[in-house]
Amino acid sequence: MRGLMNKLVSRSLSVAGKWQQQQLRRLNIHEYQGADLMNKYGINVPKGVAVSTIDEVKEAVKSAFPNENELVVKSQILAGGRGLGTFQNGFKGGVHIVKADQVEDIAGKMLGQILVTKQTGPQGKVVGKVYLCEKLSLVNEMYFAITLDRKTAGPLIIACSKGGTSIEDLAEKYPDMIIKVPVDVFKGITDEDAARVVDGLASKVADRNDSIEQVKKLYKLFCERDCTLLEINPLAETSGNQLVAADAKLNFDDNAAFRQKEIFALRDPSQEDPREVAAAKADLNYIGLDGEIGCMVNGAGLAMATMDIIKFHGGTPANFLDVGGNASEGQVVEAFKILTSDDKVKAILVNIFGGIMKCDVIASGIVNAAKQVALKVPVVVRLEGTNVDQGKQILKESGMTLITAEDLDKAAEKAVKAASK
């Protein structure tokens, strides 16, 4: 359901003979958090309560929904495809519409359990909360999103008169149903822009003027909160003639964390790759992949080239890790801890071309990391550039068993060979 947006707003790394989506540096929040934020902007959302224990479930049903016969129980994880997902305990479906007296039982089968969807990978994600929502009487389901578009250098609104199902399939089968409305970032959204979106949605019962205002409020939220993505699927019409955001996904630009402290306080580290959480704390650029050769490189371009050459020699990179141009010895130690925490890593390749980054700092970091971390896999080191002789001397005097190489091609070849043993 998120695939179309992924194509528009994310890049990919071609490794291991398949495309692996690169995780962008952006904040992702839970559905219940997004609904609360939209409600503050006057956007229509279903009444809902997030709960994390069975006692809270009982209290919420009693106090928040005393007159409801049916409720929607939604597992809260930072991944799409929840409705078709399966829990590792065998329970199927992360979203259920149930009678009020069944909510406690269904929530109990979700809370604390691991939900596996098409987007989580086989490891799944733990459901720490469930979102209890009123069941709306929907007469029509549509798709709505706002993202950032490189071509128009500004926000782009994407809408479709069909929603609630895979937007990728709809875009492929009915491309004419997808409308795109670019918004001038300097002028902001106009009534004409919003009207084009509403007309493209082809709503059946919702008041047109009210719908235009809802679109403008969504755009306001997108801009004021530094969103990189605001996606609603479905954007629904109710029997009460309202346009309602029945589900929502919001991403925020990490570069705006300094002015969006309230939003970034919502971050849920339990839903993120623990290696990436540790890397962020150490101010390292890290992206976990699925290979067997851990990489530590300085500079994004050199890191990409290192990954490509590993693949050329028949290996698969386990990560993208750029320590940057001014990493400290402590950051190098943290980088090694992260690399060695991955059980799939069978060898580590350190590729440093020292400019601003000095080879002796990297070498000292490697030696200190070896003292703190039990290095159980072979380490291949290629150093070149500033203070390279001092760096090589530090490694030589350390007594560590390292595999050295004079150039990147040889280093990658040796790393692949070491990982295969």
The CATH number covering residue 382 comes to 3.40.50.261
Query: 288 with 400, same domain?
Result: yes
382 with 407: CB under 8 angstroms? yes
Query: 283 with 389, same domain?
Result: yes
Query: 402 with 351, same domain?
Result: yes
Residue 256 predicted with pLDDT over 50: yes
- Name the pairing type of β-strands 285-288 and 319-322: antiparallel
Query: 255 with 175, same domain?
Result: yes
Note down the domain range covering 81.
47-134
Domain boundary among 265, 299, 321: 265
Binding residues for Mg(2+): 233, 247
Residue 228 included in any domain = yes
Q: Helices then strands (H, E): number in the chain?
A: 14, 22
**Residue 231 annotated in active site:** yes
pLDDT for 8 equals 38
Instruction: Give percent of the chain above pLDDT 70.
Output: 93
The CATH number covering residue 129 comes to 3.30.1490.20
pLDDT for 5 equals 45
Domain boundary among 134, 160, 193: 134
Residue 37 included in any domain = no
Q: How is the chain split among helix, strand and coil, in percent rounded to 5?
A: 40, 30, 35
Nearest residue to 248 (alpha-carbon basis) of 221, 271, 216: 221
**Residue 334 annotated in active site:** no
Binding residues for ATP: 74, 81-83, 141
DSSP for 193-249, written as a single string? HHHHHHHHHT-SSS-HHHHHHHHHHHHHHHHHTTEEEEEEEEEEEETTS-EEE-S-E
Binding residues: 74, 81-83, 141, 233, 247, 298, 355-357
Query: What would you report as the CA-atom Rg of the chain, rounded to the nearest whole angstrom?
Result: 25
Residue 25 included in any domain = no
Residue 27 predicted with pLDDT over 60: yes
Contacts of 217 (CB under 8 A, 6+ apart): 41, 42, 43
Residue 176 included in any domain = yes
Structural domains in the chain (count): 3
pLDDT for 121 equals 83
pLDDT band at 3 (very low <50, low <70, confident <90, very high): very low
Query: 180 with 117, same domain?
Result: no
pLDDT for 10 equals 39
Residue 105 included in any domain = yes
CA distance 164 to 179: 17
CA distance 223 to 229: 10
Domain boundary among 265, 284, 319: 265
Query: 219 with 104, same domain?
Result: no
Query: 116 with 187, same domain?
Result: no
Catalytic residue among 231, 237, 276, 413: 231
Please state the rounded mean pLDDT for residues 369-395. Answer: 87
The CATH number covering residue 175 comes to 3.30.470.20
Query: 144 with 202, same domain?
Result: yes
Give whichever of 222-226, 271-275, 349-353 has the largest mean pLDDT. 222-226
Residue 9 predicted with pLDDT over 70: no
Question: Which tens digit of pLDDT belongs to each residue from 384-411?
Answer: 888 999 999 998 888 888 898 889 999 9
Residue 19 predicted with pLDDT over 60: no
CA distance 122 to 124: 5
Residue 305 included in any domain = yes
Question: Which tens digit of pLDDT belongs to each residue from 125-149?
Answer: 999 999 999 999 999 999 999 999 9
Q: To the nearest 10°, the Cα dihedral for 256, 260, 266, 269?
A: 30
State both tokens at 60: 């919420």
Catalytic residue among 131, 143, 219, 286: 143
pLDDT for 25 equals 53
Position 360, amino acid: D
Residue 274 predicted with pLDDT over 90: no
pLDDT for 22 equals 38
Query: 329 with 411, same domain?
Result: yes
Residue 154 included in any domain = yes
Please state the rounded mean pLDDT for residues 319-345. Answer: 85
Residue 11 included in any domain = no
For the chain, what is the mean pLDDT? 88
Question: Which tens digit of pLDDT belongs to each residue from 279-318?
Answer: 888 888 898 888 999 999 988 899 999 999 999 999 999 9
Nearest residue to 76 (alpha-carbon basis) of 46, 107, 45: 107
Query: 247 with 280, same domain?
Result: no
- The model's pTM: 0.76
- Top pLDDT among 305 and 353 is at 305
pLDDT for 375 equals 79
pLDDT for 81 equals 85
Of 11-15, 193-197, 297-301, 323-327, the range with the lowest mean pLDDT is 11-15
Query: 283 with 405, same domain?
Result: yes
Place of tokens 């695939």: 3
Query: 333 with 394, same domain?
Result: yes
Cβ-in-10-Å burial (0-12, 13-18, 19+) of 259 comes to exposed
Question: Which tens digit of pLDDT belongs to each residue from 32-77?
Answer: 999 999 999 999 999 999 999 999 999 999 999 999 999 999 999 9
